[in-house]
């Protein structure tokens, strides 16, 4: 396989944060075919933090930047999938210090979260010390295979540290079956103005495959 769809499918019985029924998406058919004639139209009601999505600073920072500040080039970049499947509880700074992390990196953390399709109350999360370490490293972005980057931390310090540093946050990735390594990440959010988050269709492409594909396209 040369590419991986690492997005969660949207449906009414999908897992949502804390299994809160109020956060489940609602899909309603407003018009449909009658005797094979007509059209179908469907209405989707969804919390913007459902499934795979990107957080804007306004999510946690008063008067922070909104999704309007996002640019297309912010969501096409090289990314590294880091295998942290050995982590039992939280990703800490001590764990990350064993990884070569450079300024401008976009890191996707693959954990045991990807092994379950439902909501796991004790999911692996990014602990405050790790978030502060990543912010100091000036990483471009991070992604994780849970519906939130943190749990049970008063004041949401992991979100705040990363968002204040300008780091993009992708939540709700599905990384089961994706080998650790380098990829091109395509993760453009829906273009919704002035909100604090937006759903994303995230796709990982092997760099060599993408180069060959583009070369073929331009030689046509």
53 is catalytic: no
pLDDT of the residue at 200: 97
Q: What is d(CA 127, CA 12) in angstroms, rounded to the nearest whole number?
A: 30
Q: Region 118-128: what's the mean pLDDT?
A: 94
pLDDT of the residue at 102: 96
Q: How many CB atoms lie within 10 A of CB 66?
A: 18
pTM higher than 0.85: yes
Backbone angles phi, psi at 43, to 5 degrees: -105, 135
Nearest CA among 207, 192, 187 for reference residue 68: 192
The whole-chain average pLDDT of the chain stands at: 94
Quick one: pLDDT band at residue 207, thresholds 50, 70, 90? confident
Q: Which of 11, 49, 53, 59 is catalytic?
A: 59
Nearest CA among 85, 104, 113 for reference residue 168: 104
Q: Region 190-217: what's the mean pLDDT?
A: 87
- Could you name the CATH architecture of 3-8+48-218? 3-Layer(bba) Sandwich (3.50)
All structural domains of the chain with their residue ranges: 3-8+48-218
């Amino acid at each position: 396989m040369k590419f991986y769809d690492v997005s969660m499918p949207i449906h009414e019985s999908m897992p949502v944060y804390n299994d809160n029924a109020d956060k489940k998406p609602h899909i309603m058919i407003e018009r449909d075919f009658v005797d094979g004639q007509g059209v179908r139209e469907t209405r989707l009601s969804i919390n913007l933090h459902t499934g795979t999505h990107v957080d804007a600073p306004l999510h946690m920072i008063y008067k922070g930047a909104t999704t309007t500040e996002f640019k297309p080039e912010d969501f096409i970049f090289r990314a590294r999938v880091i295998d942290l499947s050995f982590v039992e509880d939280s990703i800490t700074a001590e764990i990350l210090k064993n990884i070569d992390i450079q300024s401008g990196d976009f890191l996707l953390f693959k954990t045991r979260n990807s092994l379950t399709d439902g909501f796991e109350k004790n999911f692996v999360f990014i602990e405050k010390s790790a978030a502060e370490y990543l912010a100091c490293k000036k990483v471009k972005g991070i992604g994780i295979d849970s519906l939130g980057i943190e749990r049970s931390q008063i004041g949401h310090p992991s979100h705040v540290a990363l968002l204040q540093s300008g780091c993009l946050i992708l939540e709700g990735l599905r990384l089961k079956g994706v080998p650790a390594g380098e990829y091109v990440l395509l993760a453009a959010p829906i273009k919704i103005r002035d909100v604090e988050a937006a759903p994303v269709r995230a796709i990982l492409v092997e760099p060599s495959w993408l180069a060959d594909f583009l070369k073929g396209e331009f030689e046509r």
